[in-house]
Amino acid sequence: MEKSRESFSAEVERTYAAVLERVSMVGIAAIAGAYLLYVLHALPLSVQVHDIAANWHLGADALVAKGLSPSGWSWVAGIGNADILSLAAIGLLTMTPVVCLAAASASFLSRKDYAYTIIGLLQILVLLVAISGVLTFHS
Amino acid sequence: MMRKGIGGVWLALGTMVLLVLPLLVSDAAFAAPVPPVSGVAWWVWVIALFVFSFFLGIIAVIAGVGGGVLFVPIVSSFFPFHIDYVRAAGLLVALSGALSAGAPLLKKGLANLRLGLPMALLGSVSSIFGALVGLALPSSFIQLTLGIVIIGIALLMFMSKRSAVPETVEPDCFSQMLGISGIYHDATLRREVPWNIHRTALGSLLFVFIGFLGGMFGLGAGFANVPVFNLLMGVPLKVAVGTSGLVLSINGTAAVWVYLLKGAVLPLIAIPAIAGMMAGSRIGAWLLPRFHPKSIRIVVIIILAIAGVRSLLKGIGV
């Protein structure tokens, strides 16, 4: 076992951990803040809470068809509403691994670890494809 | 330790107040007609979901299982929410738990990037397809197959033996090529533990399958990641658990975006679940040394079996 590889790996892991700690904290704070605005009705809602509750026994397709849940990236247009802001905050939290992977890939590249740089970049690409909705609406 | 616990209690109480506070606000929404499906006011379900997720967070940490595997079958069976939203919330619960625990595990060398990234790459692709397939299938079929899968997981947990530090294995060509090996300090054993892996190809194939299942049913899939790492590939248990969290945080992200873009993420359901699970996990971490994980594990297996049977019966319309 190469000692240098072990210490390189530990450095990359520390980089990933540092980014993970900060970015996930931002995501969690965003969720808490957005949900507070949501439940306190501090901002307008795109869909009233009781409308959601009256239909949450229906599947996602049915809710989208009724206009009670956004499909694709259409929700961005309603970002000024508290419910959509909560959704955006959830989206922000789920972006955490993308940011961590970007930092890790840069770290692997700086250590000339090309195999893991490629794996890291491919992983980012997979996540970006999922986030873009390319597969979701063209499958 | 004590201060941590008190902090966790305050966190839980604060979150509960946050969720109950709106109930004191006079608003037409709270006096809205009760949804015809459940016969119970909507906010009761939201509070119940938070409380349930909170206790689930405690149990999950003590039993050493991810939250998603318990969350999805129980909530989809006993709450009025459609399984689409429960699966999305289940993924978010597992994801947020993994993100919270990730940094300390990485710093201690218990979550290994060289081991986790190749598996996550394969698993995340299949988890996207799993989510797509799951959302395309009838919900009764999903509920039925979820029941079967959960009963299978309960059996797997009942029969599986975990190996804290497996025998040193001879690394295979794939693990040598990617340089997958590591060393961590085991506080229990009071020594540095070096490790290698073998059966990398077979393990990778299994991660493709696990990713698909996780995406399809909204499960964190730690229940499957850990045995594959530990029993099949020869990774020490602590590293297997830590790296499993890393893998599921990436796989969960890939799958949850399919749900989000299909309109299956409802903040009204997802956020109380996340908040409850995170608050409960803090309490669980504090209580962990005071409990015997084995006895809790048996309780979890029984809960899983009941939830699996309930889900199966719901799937066939009983």
A111-121 pLDDT, tens digit each: 999 999 999 99
Residues in chain B, how many? 318
Q: Per-residue confidence at B190, pLDDT binned at 50, 70, 90?
A: confident
Q: With contact defined as beta carbons under 8 Å apart, do B15 and B46 qualify?
A: no
CA–CA separation, A41 vs A77, rounded Å?
19
Of B21, B80, B253, the CB nearest to A127: B253
The minimum CA-CA distance between A59 and chain B, rounded to whole Å, is 6
Contact list, B25 vs chain A (CB under 8 Å) = 40-41
- Measured torsion, CA atoms of residues A69, A71, A73, A75, in degrees rounded to the nearest 10: -20
Q: Which alpha helices (H) appear in chain B, and where do they start and end?
A: 2-24, 42-63, 68-78, 83-107, 113-136, 139-159, 173-178, 200-217, 222-227, 237-261, 267-287, 293-315
What are the chain B neighbours of A119 within 8 Å (beta carbons)? 117-118, 121
Mutate to test the interface with A, among B81, B95, B113 (most CBs of A within 10 A): B113
Chain-chain contact of B256 with A94 (C-beta, under 8 angstroms): yes
Alpha-carbon distance A12 to nearest alpha carbon in chain B (angstroms): 8
Contact of A50 with B33, CB cutoff 8 Å: yes
Q: What is the pLDDT of residues A77-101, one digit of tens each?
A: 999 999 999 999 999 999 999 999 9
Report the residue of chain A nearest B272, measured CA to CA: A35
CA distance B239 to B259: 30
Across B129-153, b (16+ Cβ under 10 Å) vs e yields bbbbebbeeebeebbbbbbebbbeb
Nearest by Cα to A23 from B253, B238, B78, B151: B253
CA distances from B115 to B152, B181, B188, B286 (A): 26, 8, 23, 29
Among the residues of A44-138, which ranges form H helices? 49-55, 60-65, 82-94, 96-110, 114-132, 134-137
Cα separation, A77 vs B257, in Å, equals 18
Do the chains contact at A83 and B267, CB–CB below 8 Å? yes
Q: Is the pLDDT of residue B24 over 50?
A: no
Q: Which two tokens stand for residue A48?
A: 């009233």
Q: How many residues does chain A have?
A: 139
Distance CA B117, CA B101 (A): 17
CA distances B219 to A27, A49, B117, B269, B284, Å, are: 21, 27, 19, 16, 20
pLDDT tens-digit map of B192-202: 888 999 999 99
3-class DSSP state for residue B181? strand
Question: Out of B76-90, B149-163, B198-212, which region has the weakest mean confidence (pLDDT)?
Answer: B149-163
Q: CA-CA distance, B209 to B126, in Å (whole number)?
A: 7
DSSP single-letter state for residue A47 = S
Encoding tokens for residue A118? Answer: 């490629």
Q: Cβ separation of B120 and A123 shorter than 8 Å?
A: yes
Mapped onto helix, strand or coil, the DSSP state of residue B62 is helix
pLDDT over 60 (residue B11): no
Residue B200 has which token pair? 């990398």
In whole angstroms, what is the distance from residue B15 CA to residue B73 CA? 24
- For residue A23, give the H/E element and its range: helix A3-39
Which residue type sits at A3?
A: K
B182: nearest CB among A9, A86, A101: A9
Query: pLDDT tens digits for B43-95?
Result: 899 999 999 999 988 887 777 677 778 899 889 888 999 999 999 999 999 98
The reported pLDDT for the residue numbered B104 is: 86
Is the model's pLDDT at B246 over the cut of 70? yes
CB contact under 8 A, A39 and B21: yes
Burial class (CB in 10 A: 0-12, 13-18, 19+), B83: buried
Judged by CB atoms closer than 8 Å, whether chains meet at A9 and B114 is answered as yes
Q: What percent of chain A has pLDDT over 90?
A: 83
Whether the per-residue pLDDT at B183 is higher than 60: the answer is yes
- Contact A123/B253, CB-based, under 8 Å? no
Q: What is d(CA B281, CA B276) in angstroms, rounded to the nearest whole number?
A: 8
CB atoms A87 and B179 under 8 Å: no
Contact B250, A126 (CB under 8 A): no
Band (pLDDT 50/70/90 cuts) for residue A130 is very high
Torsion (CA) B46, B98, A17, B284 in degrees, nearest 10? 80
Most confident of A105-119, B171-185, B287-301: A105-119
pLDDT, residue B241, reads: 84
